[in-house]
Amino acid sequence: MQAQVLDVLRSCRVPMSAYDVLRCLREEHPRLAPPTIYRALAALMERGKVHRLESLNAFVACQCERHRDAPILWVCTDCGVVEENSSTDLLTALSGIAGKSGFAPMRHVIEVHGRCGACGSAESRA
Amino acid sequence: MQAQVLDVLRSCRVPMSAYDVLRCLREEHPRLAPPTIYRALAALMERGKVHRLESLNAFVACQCERHRDAPILWVCTDCGVVEENSSTDLLTALSGIAGKSGFAPMRHVIEVHGRCGACGSAESRA
DNA sequence: AGCCGGAAAGTTATAACATAACGTTCAAAG
DNA sequence: CTTTGAACGTTATGTTATAACTTTCCGGCT
């Protein structure tokens, strides 16, 4: 089930809600119910294969093989595509701020909404 | 209505869901319905008086009088309290990364979950 | 083989979060 | 004193998520 959910998510660069995934997989498994999907997604997130987009209540397949740091997710509000990367500098900066107030970070949520390069140049050509 | 919602949110440092706010205000306005709350929250967010915690589907009153930058929200997973600040350096770093791929940021979601200083020292004393 | 135990998935039901669509009120502009 | 539009009320429903319990299946054990 995890493998099937991951396949569905990998088949598209646009994030999908758990219910989108459910609708996809119901074509093959008509009786599939939400908890199954959420369990698979939880396991995949645990293994770092999938990221949850908190600001969209949606999920994307991880685009990197391995993570050193927390991912930064770049969401195009125009085409919907999500890019992923990470920045040691950024994490260092965050840790620095955290340190001053004695805050011990456990999990970072960094999502940036805007217009991606492709949509930006498409627009400027128009 | 906006003022009442803001009062409720300001009365506590822990984020509240829209339905938490609704339950609070129903004591005074028994017939209050969700759309009224969501409308007030939308207007307050527009005015920068309230922030939405995307990773919790919840809302907190803004703790700063004015923002230069996008807020960084620090969420204690122990006591639930949210602190807020901002960092020009961090935003600069993000813009730098964005620039390389031609991404034009419009909205930043930066939320860090971890243990706050107070809970950390409480634990170490125990 | 037959049994046991645990992990994954199925199943049912409901909780929690959010908004569409339309109606009402009321005050300020014309 | 009518028009108009913003705020709010109301009803209904859509969307996201999980609690709680059951079943299935596989692998080890006797």
Q: How far is B117 from chain A (nearest CA, A)?
A: 4
The answer to whether some atom of strand C lies closer than 7 Å to the beta carbon of B93 is no
A86 close to B (CB below 8 A):
no
Domain count, chain A: 1
Contact A5, A37 (CB under 8 A): yes
- For B25-84, the pLDDT digits (tens) are 998 888 899 999 999 999 999 999 999 999 999 999 998 877 767 899 999 999 999 999
Q: How far is A28 from chain B (nearest CA, A)?
A: 32
- Report, as an integer, the average pLDDT of B100-125: 90
pTM: predicted TM-score of the whole model, two decimal places: 0.91
Residue A84 has pLDDT above 80, yes or no: yes
Question: Cα dihedral angle (B93, B97, B109, A65), rounded to 10 degrees?
Answer: -120
Grade residue A7 by pLDDT with cuts at 50, 70 and 90. very high
A33 close to B (CB below 8 A):
no
Q: Which two tokens stand for residue A90?
A: 């950024």
Interface residues 22-61 of A with strand C (CB < 7 Å): 29, 31-36, 39-40, 43
Contact B109, A56 (CB under 8 A): no
User: In sequence order, which residues have a C-beta less than 8 Å from that of residue B6 and are 6 or more positions away?
Assistant: B44, B49, B50, B61
User: In sequence order, which residues have a C-beta less than 8 Å from that of residue B3 and are 6 or more positions away?
Assistant: none
- For A53-70, the pLDDT digits (tens) are 999 999 999 988 777 678
- For B78-111, the pLDDT digits (tens) are 999 999 998 888 999 999 999 999 999 999 999 9
Cα–Cα distance, A61 to A47 (Å, whole number): 11
Cα–Cα distance, A8 to B61 (Å, whole number): 38
Residue A34, number of CB atoms within 10 A of its CB: 11
Structural domain including B48 reads 2-125
Q: Which residue of A has its CA nearest to B105?
A: A114
Which candidate from B94, B102, B115 shows the least CB-CB separation from A104? B115
Question: Phi and psi of A123, rounded to 5°?
Answer: -65, -45
Q: In CATH, what number is assigned to the domain containing residue B39?
A: 3.30.1490.190
Does the beta-carbon distance from B72 to A111 stay under 8 Å? no
Residue A122 or residue A79, greater confidence: A79
Question: What was the pLDDT predicted at A31?
Answer: 86
